[in-house]
Structure 1
Amino acid sequence: HDSALPDPHNGSAKEGSPTNGTTSPPTPGGIALAYGSLLLMALLPIFFGALRSVRCAHGKNPSDMPETITSRDAARFPIIASCTLLGLYLFFKIFSQEYINLLLSMYFFVLGILALSHTISPFMNKFFPANFPNRQYQLLFTQGSGENKEEIVNYEFDTKDLVCLGLSSIVGVWYLLRKHWIANNLFGLAFSLNGVELLHLNNVSTGCILLGGLFIYDVFWVFGTNVMVTVAKSFEAPIKLVFPQDLLEKGLEADNFAMLGLGDVVIPGIFIALLLRFDISLKKNTHTYFYTSFAAYIFGLGLTISIMHIFKHAQPALLYLVPACIGFPVLVALAKGEVTEMFSYEESNPKNPAAVTKSKEGAEASKETEKKEK
């Protein structure tokens, strides 16, 4: 899961429709439980994904290196997302919905198992006994030979990771056979956490470009056309978090869902994670910007759910989340006089250590030159 893919439910948290006409409307208690659960499920991957993104930025395992999003990537992303969404819309109009969803199910079955395995691995390590026979493995694919040899895949894992993969496969089979909403959410949470952990913005300006572009994308495709709603109703894949509003009446077999697209979790989440790493770079032992943006996300998503509930219409969540997640931290930076520091903070690309080394060598060389001139 190396990119936050355009999400047909991105921006739409909405009430699901009953599967038959005799279904009674959900109770206020069921609605409150569904919305509260969606909010909690959105916050968990952002919080833990942000914490793991700090370790990921300084990790040594090549398989855990983050993917850095540049300003060029951020500017192109809404266009790519729009093309993908429109492509899916046309596919569902032209081809049989069953075959497309079967292919998508298999694709997300494999991705979901890998994402869930990567997510639970750090937690599962605590449950293994000290004498557990843990062997190291490395999956390496290269291209060419000699000096032209290039690594295509370099993945390191151990026996514990294989156990996690086995457990994740059980969830995968459950999802594939039943499409149960709990299995869907387990995959959705894993995708979200991996996205926040492994997708890194290189600076705050890039984050503003990405969130601003997707703000326009979200509003246009939800309010301007019926494309997103059509794809959302046709698309069967764990790219949304769902929770039944009739859980109290029907239990685990409930079928009247409220939903939130993963794009509304991952996109603001990677910006919030960037602010956590910025907090740490200030070396003040405070996480002011992280907690401010986290509170802003709660406010924005709460506002989305409230307006959606009042008007009974799908809402582009980024319409409310983007101004909150950018505006609140910038106001705090203005109050503290740290706007310059915030926008000048730059993260190096860990996948390009040569560039980092050169920049360090350049800085050291300039210092030596200054000393000689003095």
Structure 2
Amino acid sequence: MEPLWKLQYLLEPSSLALISTAAAVVFASAHRALGHEIALGGGSSSKEMIIGASSVTLDSSQALMIPLASSCSLLLMFYLFSSVSQIITLLTTAMAAASLAFCIAPYAARLGSPRIQAPLVAAATATAIALWLVSGHWLLNNLLGISICVAFVCHIRLPNVRVCALLLACLFVYDVFWVFWSERFFGANVMVSVATQQASNPVRTVADKLNLPGLGSITKQLDMPVKLVFPRHLIGGAAGNPNAVGDYLMLGLGDMAIPGMLVALVVCFDHRKSTKARGSELPSPKNQHKYTWYAQCGYTIGLICALAAGLLTHSAQPALLYLVPSTLGPVMLSAWMRGDFNELWNGSSRLSDKSQLDVV
């Protein structure tokens, strides 16, 4: 156990950047999910180009399968990553491109006529992907990772807190096992090993085989955009070996996307409750986000606790160990105290009624 004064490192720029970025991504993902739900329901009056419009609502059996499927994928990546890294890179690149296009489409819709929206989105997406493949810069890695997180929260939905609690409980066990106990069974920390692996860059491989001149600056290895990374020495650049794991703070996308699904659930619940209470009138800002802020503040506190535990123990921490109780606990407790527990536990977050689709 490290001395408590080590907690001062939470005030370093890299730590503050990680905390603020993760909290902002969770908040933005949840509210984009609400906007996406409204757009799908026909409540949006804007001529927004909706990319990947369909969404999937999980049931209990699917929630149980997610940790099992994730565990199988983790083991495959642990044992076979070097053999299939270029295939993984291509698949991840395609997923990141689709996610980035989904994220920037609403902004492109504000810049011109519908005829130029698709070319604008395609050009911006292709530019970002090309720059990432050439440089592998951590900022571009974060941009693509954030896009994947936002798209995931928008398209994979939870119907109620009952399914949400089941999913979070299963992923709580999943995260704790693979971070704390996997080394006893597999000889290495599987979660950390997979999270820190770099994939071969297929663009550099092709350039080398074709002996193309002037392409030696293309990075040979790529960090997959499945995590947020910030240099520990954010001001002035990372010291030492920039590829060393110890030079970066990392947070997996799952540690934003999974709590983000809960925040999206309560954002939709708050929106439905507030609009229902006042009919077709605009909801009062005072009552609009009561559960949203419990979940959002709980996420920030849980993330700070996870980083603090990592500093004090000087070891990797399963973030969901802290994020699950800090987000789900306040929401369920406040719902019970306010008399909304049964509705939130069994109800649906879908905005199905036309009266609930007004944008606020």
Q: TM-score range by the shorter chain?
A: 0.7 to 0.9
Partner of 2:335: 333
C-alpha contact (below 8 Å) 1:203/1:346 kept by paired residues: yes
> What is the aligned partner in structure 2 of residue 266 from structure 1?
257
Q: Which residue does the alignment assign to 2:57?
A: 68
Matched, 1:46 2:26: yes
| Aligned counterpart, 2:194 | 231
Q: Which runs of 5+ in 1 are unaligned?
A: 1-27, 136-158, 351-355, 357-374
- Identify which of 96, 109, 134 aligns with 1:112: 96
> Against the structure 1 CA distance between its residues 33 and 254, is the aligned structure 2 distance closer, same or farther, given a 3 Å change threshold?
farther
Q: Among 102, 110, 126, which residue is 1:169 paired with?
A: 126
The structure in which a higher percent of residues are strand is 1
Please report how far the alpha carbon of residue 160 of structure 1 lies from its aligned counterpart in structure 2 after TM superposition.
0.7
Name the counterpart of 1:302: 304
Which residue is 2:74 aligned to?
85
C-alpha displacement of 1:91: 0.8
How far apart, in 2, do the equivalents of 1:291 and 1:31 lie?
A: 23
User: Following superposition of structure 1 onto structure 2, how do residues 328-367 of structure 1 map, counting pairs within 5 Å?
Assistant: 328-347=330-349
Specify the alignment match of 1:279 in structure 2: 270
Question: Is 1:59 aligned to residue 39 of structure 2?
Answer: yes
CA contact (8 A) 2:268 2:350 kept: no
> Where does residue 35 of structure 1 map in the other structure?
15
Please, which runs of 5 or more residues in structure 2 have no aligned partner?
A: 1-7, 41-49, 183-188, 199-222, 278-282, 354-360
Most deviating of 110-119 and 245-254: 245-254
What amino acid is aligned across from residue 52 of structure 1 in structure 2?
Answer: R
**Distance in 1 between residues matched to 2:249 and 2:25, nearest whole Å:** 19
Identity, % of aligned positions: 29
- The one-letter code matched in structure 2 to 1:160 is Q
Specify which structure has the bigger relative contact order, considering alpha-carbon pairs within 8 angstroms and separated by 6 or more residues. 1
Alignment partner of 1:198 is 2:155 = yes
- Return the letter of the residue paired with 2:269: F
The 8 Å contact of residues 272 and 351 in structure 2, kept in 1 or not, is answered as no
Contact 1:45 1:196 in 2 (8 A): no
Distance 1:327 1:78 in 2: 21
SS of 1:314's equivalent in the other structure is: coil
Q: How does 1:238-249 map to 2 (within 5 A)?
A: 238-249=225-236
Deviations 1:35-75 (A, max 9, x none): 11111221222212211212222334683122111111101
Opposite residue 206 of structure 1, the aligned amino acid is: V
Per-residue deviation at 1:265?
0.3
The one-letter code of the counterpart of 1:279 is D
1:274 & 1:251 partners in 2: Cα distance?
A: 38
State the TM-score, normalizing by the size of structure 1.
0.73
Name the SS for the 2:52 alignment partner.
helix
TM-score (norm 2): 0.76
Deviations 1:11-55 (A, max 9, x none): xxxxxxxxxxxxxxxxx7797111111112212222122112122
> Following superposition, which runs of at least 4 residues in structure 1 exceed 3 angstroms of deviation?
28-31, 60-63, 251-255, 347-350
Instruction: Quote how far apart the aligned CAs of 1:247 are.
Output: 2.5
Deviations 1:249-278 (A, max 9, x none): 337995521000000000010111001111
Q: Distance in 1 between matches of 2:88 and 2:136?
A: 13
Quick check: 1:192–1:266 contact (8 Å CA) kept in 2? yes
- Of 103-112 and 247-256, deviating more is 247-256
